[in-house]
A and B are shown apart, each in its own frame.
Chain A
């Protein structure tokens, strides 16, 4: 059915788009290639195509990365961020999940009204109240404190709503059967509801991780000391240091990006579904 002309057109389109995509990605290619070079080599290659090609593999190939991992606190910042993300995922799934379940399945006073309020809260931009959050945390003496960082981030109207939308379609007869077996509601929630809704738990966890990993403003306000910084703030501290070379800067931003790429490649289905169906993660 396909004509020869159409086939050629398809190939031309693909080749043109390949060229466009390479041009589009030139900053990323340049970053990755030059993260293995010394500053002298970066400057030398700047005016030729060699700027986009990694240097020859020799003993010094990973020098920038080794310097970043051994001479700076980068690993510490990474471990910090992973720890904050893990804590926030666990607490966030429990708190927002319980609230979502209550809004979906339990008849308590003003339930419909609470649901309306949660939906309205989703449109409030966080930048509006971040000053007050900072004021609260400073007043409580929780600056430079993990608790001060985590507390305002736990509850998330968007996640509550997401859980509610999934839980509302869970079958009621399972709950009735569990009640006959004298299963307490809280036990039912953890042993039945959450395992039956693995997909939404995964989506919320992934978005929580990405939010914690990529967040800039809030951690930069709460953390001022070097020991507690997240990867993004730590990256700033490392690159601001006079002794950090351009190659090391490129190495550290490549390192900060790698975990996110891993998450995206494992959970691309959840993320793309989340993007397409809700379209409301903040870029």
Chain B
């Protein structure tokens, strides 16, 4: 009797969330999967056919999607080392600095609190042909650059801006990791007259390794999802140079209403992101367990 009333109570508590999860997560996921095998066009749903894998062939022959895919990969390749190494470097420096530590933390974290729309709007002005960045470059004798107005510079320009915006976030994660390293390790190294570089290579880096994997994959996932910056700054241009996968999903699905095709793109996109997430989970969990085992052995 008691067990039965607990079941009812549990479902009553879990119920509201379950209804919303079903309508807004399970159902959309199933529909995305189903639609990806159809030519579902929301403005004319009556004409929907099952087309098998046609959509998957079609999107990879589609010039726009291929370009969006390449752009997304390029964006990842630029931003991951920039933001990952940048945040690690900043964390190491701030950990070391003895004066105004708090100011430095706040200063490098400040862009994180600004929204993507704000940062994008601001940097449209900064990257302007007669903007402040070109005027600073002129002081160093560098001629004016077109930045977001040229097909070759727009994507790197957006990547640099995005790294600038996000670097403080990972910096805080790394600072947390640095503070968690047992100071006894450094004391022992000092007794052995280890140099600063040796201490970094043999203590800091190995201790931070799980965190590094976590941070680099987090940045990669974030970069895959990039959309707002080109939406606000370039509209995907010039000549599709800042068109991303999510941008293509968004335009195909919500502007052109070709939900079948958009679903196929969404599946391809989700597979990439979820593989990355699973790799991240396995690698970081594995390392932590080994770490725990090592600790247990030492005790």
Contact: A136 with B28, CB < 8 Å? yes
B278, CB-defined interface residue at 8 Å:
yes
- Answer yes or no: B130 CB below 8 A from chain A CBs: yes
Instruction: For the A-B complex with A46-B131, A216-B115 known, give 19 more contacts whose Cβ atoms are closer than 8 Å.
Output: A11-B99, A13-B96, A14-B98, A21-B103, A27-B111, A27-B122, A99-B16, A106-B10, A106-B13, A108-B6, A121-B21, A128-B267, A132-B259, A155-B17, A157-B25, A185-B13, A246-B125, A272-B172, A283-B165
Chain B residues lying within 8 Å of A250, measured Cβ to Cβ, are: 122, 125
CB–CB A30/B132 < 8 A: yes
Query: In the assembled complex, how far is the CB of residue A227 from the closest CB belonging to chain B, in whole angstroms?
Result: 19
| A101 close to B (CB within 8 Å) | yes
A109 to B3 Cα, complex, angstroms: 10
Q: With the chains together, A69 CA to B32 CA distance in Å?
A: 43
A107 to B113: give the CA distance in the assembly, Å. Answer: 40
- A102 contacts the other chain (CB 8 A): yes
Q: Chain B contact residues (Cβ within 8 angstroms of A): what range?
A: 35 or more
Shortest Cβ distance from A155 into B: residue: B20
Decide: A249 and B121 in contact? CB cutoff 8 A. Answer: yes
Interface size on A, residues (CB 8 A): 83
Counting CB contacts under 8 A, is B228 at the interface? Answer: yes
How many Å from the CB of A165 to the closest CB on chain B? 16
Given contacts A214-B115, A235-B121, A283-B165, contact A128 B3 (CB under 8 A): no
A259→B46 CA distance, assembly (Å): 48
Is A111 within 8 A of B259, CB to CB? no
* A217 → chain B closest CB, angstroms: 6
Cβ of B35: which chain A residues have Cβ within 8 Å of it?
132
- Measured CB to CB, the residues of B under 8 A from A are 3, 6-7, 9-11, 13-14, 16-18, 20-21, 23-25, 27-29, 31-32, 35, 42, 93-94, 96-100, 103-104, 107-108, 110-118, 121-123, 125-126, 130-132, 135-136, 138, 164-166, 169, 172-173, 176, 214-215, 218, 221-222, 224-225, 227-228, 231-232, 246, 249-250, 253-254, 259, 262-263, 266-267, 269-270, 273-274, 277-278, 281
A155–B262 Cα gap in the complex (Å)?
24
**A-chain residues with CB within 8 Å of residue B97 when the two chains form the complex:** 10, 13-14, 17
